[in-house]
Structure 1
Amino acid sequence: MSGLVAQRITFSQALVKTSRWWPVALIAMFVAAAIFAPLIAPYDPNAQNLVGRLKPPGTVSRTFHYWLGSDELGRDVLSRIIYGARISLTVAFASVILSGAVGVCLGMMAGYRRGWVEMVIMRVVDVFLSIPAILLAIITVAVLGPSLLNVILVLVLTRWPRYARVAYGQTLAVANMPYVRLSAFMGASATRVLLRHVLPNIIGAITVVATLEFGLMVLFEAGLSFLGLGVQPPTASWGAILSVGRNYLANAWWIATLPGACLFLLVLAINLIGDFVRDYLDPRIH
């Protein structure tokens, strides 16, 4: 009986380890496809073949072999999905890094300085958090105009308050530690105290927020592109492909289904990694 229990425990541990690694492998595959898109994609994502429009997966038309089918202009869906990964990951990486940098700096400053600095920064955070993020993003992009750079700026503008809120709460807890107060008493500047003593202690919580925000950034970019407010045609984007594919669901399901599946798998893998990072950094679990 004890041997059977031990085997079950060993199997469950192996299953847990496997479940932790496949999201990493999946994200690595998407990242590699985005980086090496010109080498991997079989065709130019914007190359048209009107004779081969709306062909199902596996069809050959002229010089095109449509492994995942073609769209309404005869463009290869596989090539457009591969190049679309570039847009989604570029926007996600840039927006997470920039919004994280802005939010963490302001949050730490509010938690350490206190007083009127805290009041001003945190009231601004409250205002931004009270507005639906997707609504604010749509309004801002509509005003600035749709483009890749504007999408990144809009996501940074709408998502930095979440980092600021977490950094503020964590800084309040760390700022009263004896070694932090002693460092300030010995004459260390606020910048040195924040970078040397506060930031290393709150980076774990910020990392958890960043991993979860990464998936949201992918979804926000796809949503804006779906509404025509993201990158503009003919640039390939998963959201833009979904927007076109919804008009052909009856007779060309692959146009919307396949990039939608890629979007689902990428966000799922990111969220699973975020859960693992949260559990790993939570001292109550160990």
Structure 2
Amino acid sequence: MTQAALPVRRRARRTIRPAAWAPVVLIAAFVIAALAAPWLAPYEPNQQNLLARLKPPGFASRGVAYWLGSDELGRDLLSRLVHGSRVSLVVAFSSVILSGVVGTTLGMAAGYLRGPVETAVMRIVDVFLSVPAILLAIITVAVLGPGLANVILVLALTRWPRYARVAYGQTLGVATAPYVRLAAFMGAGAPRILLRHVLPNIIGAMTVVATLEFGLMVLFEAGLSFLGLGVQPPTASWGAMLSTGRNYLANAWWIATFPGLCLFLLVLAVNLIGDDLRDRFDPRSTP
């Protein structure tokens, strides 16, 4: 490669594709809608009007406009979609943070301390990963009972092994680095080494895992709500709206279509961001 080509290559690496901002803008829109749901929703999400039940999108009567139609109880679908975004995002953010902290901590401890700690942690990880995550979540929710807090706890419980395995593998590569050995030789304890030297070097990989897991948490929450094991009615939830809408696909397609479209767009945007982060953090990726 000639010297003249080097500046061009460096500038190309810093270039951000305009299309890369599309998923960020889409997720920001969902977050804003969730935070400002009481002000953005046209009506109360549980306000019923049986005279206007199962009305198509664009229907208006007596000064009330149903821009996305109404459901089987005459509730405004747009208002319920906006409020339902709060449930999906709260569950996804909370479960990702909780499972990420637990899994990353245990994975780093297993990779650095080795010995009995490594054996115990990784065998527990193998046990959890041997059971399908959705099945484990359904069983746990059925035992603990449905509800927002229980759903967050269950999803964190079922997904922490993914973080632990990645953190374990990353820590094995960092633990033998000269600066880590020097810190241990100078008397630094394991917690300090893990926090100051190991975690900053694996945070990129863990961020990618958390981003991809976020989309799965949204889908798992919707699946549990679809089965009646998530957030309970009358609280608006995209999964519960899908469950209700399946009974009216023939004459009220909008009840299931719009929540499904919201789920599709949110998960797609998160996965696109996760793929972009993976390419940026991977040193083997080409510019």
2: CA distance between counterparts of 1:53 and 1:61? 12
Tell me, yes or no, if the aligned pair for 1:55 and 1:70 is still in contact at 8 Å: yes
Name the SS of the counterpart of 1:65 in structure 2: strand
1:37-93 CA-partner distances (Å, limit 9, x unpaired): 001000000000000000000111334210000000000000000000000000000
Match of 1:6 in 2: none
* Structure 1 residue 198, shift from structure 2 partner: 0.2
Question: Equivalent residue for 2:183?
Answer: 183
What is the aligned partner in structure 1 of residue 118 from structure 2?
118
The answer as to 2:109 corresponding to 1:78 is no
Distance 1:259 1:63 in 2: 25
Whole-Å separation in 2 of the counterparts to 1:45 and 1:100: 32
Query: Hey, what does 2:206 align to over in structure 1?
Result: 206
- Per the alignment, residue 247 of structure 1 pairs with 247
Aligned 1:206-285 pairs, distance under 5 A = 206-285=206-285
Alignment of 1:137-148 (within 5 A): 137-148=137-148
For 1:17, the aligned partner's letter is: R
Quick one: which amino acid aligns to residue 278 of structure 2?
Answer: R
Q: How far off its partner does 1:153 sit? A: 0.3
TM-score normalised by structure 2 residue count: 0.94
CA deviations over 1:132-170 (Å, ceiling 9, x no partner): 000000000000000000000000000000000000000
Q: Distance in 2 between matches of 1:122 and 1:129?
A: 10
Matched AA of 1:92: A
Match of 1:133, as an amino acid? A
Q: Is the 8 A contact 1:24 1:273 kept in 2?
A: yes
CA apart distance, 1:187: 0.4
Counterpart residue number, 2:158: 158
How many residue pairs get matched? 274
The Cα shift of 1:96 comes to 0.3
- Indicate the SS of the match to 1:60: strand
**Counterpart of 2:96 in structure 1: which amino acid?**
V
Give distance in 2, aligned partners of 1:205 and 1:199: 10
**Does the Cα contact within 8 Å between 1:106 and 1:164 map onto a contact in 2?**
yes
Q: Percent identity?
A: 76
Q: Name the aligned partner's letter for residue 39 of structure 1.
A: W
1:2-42 CA distances to partner (integer Å, 9 max, x unpaired)?
Answer: xxxxxxxxxxx9x9712201000000000000000001000
Residues 222, 238 of structure 1: 8 Å contact kept: yes
What letter matches 2:111 in structure 1? G
Residues 51 and 61 in structure 1, CA contact (< 8 A), matched pair in contact too: no
Write the distance in 1 (CA, Å) between the matches of 2:248 and 2:64: 21
Let me know the Cα RMSD of the aligned residues: 1.4
Structure 1 range deviating more: 15-24 or 201-210 = 15-24
Instruction: Name 1:20's counterpart in structure 2.
Output: 20
Inter-partner Cα distance in structure 1 for 2:75 and 2:199: 48
Q: Which structure 1 segments of 5+ residues have no match? A: 1-12
Amino acid at match of 1:142: A
Structure 1 residue ranges, 4+ long, deviating more than 2 angstroms after superposition: 61-64
CA-CA distance at 1:182 after TM superposition: 1.0
One-letter amino acid of the structure 2 residue matched with residue 69 of structure 1: G
1:8 corresponds in structure 2 to none
1:27 counterpart letter in structure 2: I
In structure 1, the residue matched to 2:135 is 135
The match for 1:49 is 49
1:30 maps to: 30
Please list every run of 5 or more consecutive structure 2 residues that lacks an aligned counterpart in the other structure: 1-12
Partner of 1:59: 59
| Alpha-carbon distance, 1:183 to partner | 0.4
- Give the aligned residue type for 1:204: G
TM (normalized to structure 1)?
Answer: 0.94
Distance 1:258 1:205 in 2: 34
